[in-house]
Amino acid sequence: MYLCDGKIDNNYKVTDIELPTNIGKRLEALGMTCGTPVTVLNSKNHGVLIVKVRGTRFALGRNITKKVLVG
């Protein structure tokens, strides 16, 4: 399942990131690596997804969240 399909207030674990290298490295620098727990805090239709990663809230666009696999 992709992160963009996640339900609000559910916890997921990142299993794979299928993004270009520069964006993937940026997410890794922010703490989103494989095996990291992620909580979906808010979701807008075809818009921004707000997630909590390692205690920090991030707003990610759909073009990024549809490339992050979670389980």
The answer to whether 1 and 70 have CB atoms below 8 angstroms apart is: yes
Distances in Å between the Cα of 10 and the Cα atoms of 2, 3, 21 are 13, 11, 28
CATH number for region 3-70: 2.30.30.90
- Would you place residue 44 in the very low, low, confident or very high pLDDT band (cuts 50, 70, 90)? confident
**Averaged over 29-46, what is the pLDDT?**
91
58-70: pLDDT as tens digits: 999 999 999 999 9
The model's pTM: 0.87
Return the domain boundaries, the chain: 3-70
